Chains A and B, each alone.
Chain A
C-alpha cells in the first residue's frame, strides 16, 4: 500500500528555517516524480515544487514564490523526500502536502496527510 507521511511542521519566526520530511512506503521514491503542494488557512491549493525521478537526475522545478528560498531533496536510503525552507515569510504559513506522480507520468496520484507550518513572531 502506498503511503506518504509528512512531518517536521511547527511554529517558526519570520526569517527562520524549517525542514519538512515525507516518508514514503509501498514504493521507491527514486522511481517517481514527487511534488510539494501547500494550502494556506482557508485558501486553495498552491503548487510549491517538483523533483523528477532518478532517471532524470532528480532535477527540480519551483514556484516563483519560493524559488531561491526552498529546496527539494531526497534520501534514497530512507525512501524519503524533503523540503528545506529558508528565509521564511508569514505568507508561507500553510499545510504542506507531499504528492507522488505515477512512474512515467506527470499527474499526482497519492497525497500525504499534510503538516502545518506557521510562520509568526
Chain B
C-alpha cells in the first residue's frame, strides 16, 4: 500500500499568514492527489484534485502543487474561516489512503 505522510500534524498561525502543508507519498503517484478541508463536527469538503486543480467554488487563496511523491497545499492569506483540519489523499491505486491530517489553529 502507498502511505501518505503529512506534515506538520498541527500548526498555529495568525490571520493573514501564508501557510504551507506538505504531503509525501511512499511511492510515486503522478498527480493523483486531492486535498480536503474539515471543520469540527462537519463533513470534509473537497478543495483540490489532480494535485493543483481547484474544485468549483474554492477560492483562489488555496493552491496545490507537486507531482510524484511530494506535494504542498498553500493558503496564501489565512482567514478565520480557514481554521480547520486539512487532509491529503492519493487516488493512484487501491487502497485509497489519506494522510494523517494537519490541524490549523489560531495563534
Contacts and interface: CB of A to CB of B under 8 A. Distances in A.
Question: A and B: partners?
Answer: yes
A5 to B, nearest CB: 11
B94 A61 contact: yes
Contacts of B91: 106-107
Nearest to B33: A107
B interface, over-half SS? loop
A47 interface: yes
Interface string B49-70: 1100001000000000000000
Interface in A79-110: 97, 105-110
A108 B46 contact: yes
Q: What band does the interface of chain B fall in when counting residues whose beta carbon is under 8 Å from A?
A: 20 to 34
Contact of B98 (A45, A64, A111, A114): A45
Given A45-B87, A107-B34, A64 B95 contact: yes
Interface of B: 32, 34, 36, 38, 43-46, 49-50, 55, 87, 89, 91, 94-101
11 contacts: A37-B44, A44-B98, A44-B99, A45-B44, A107-B34, A107-B46, A107-B50, A108-B36, A108-B49, A108-B89, A111-B43
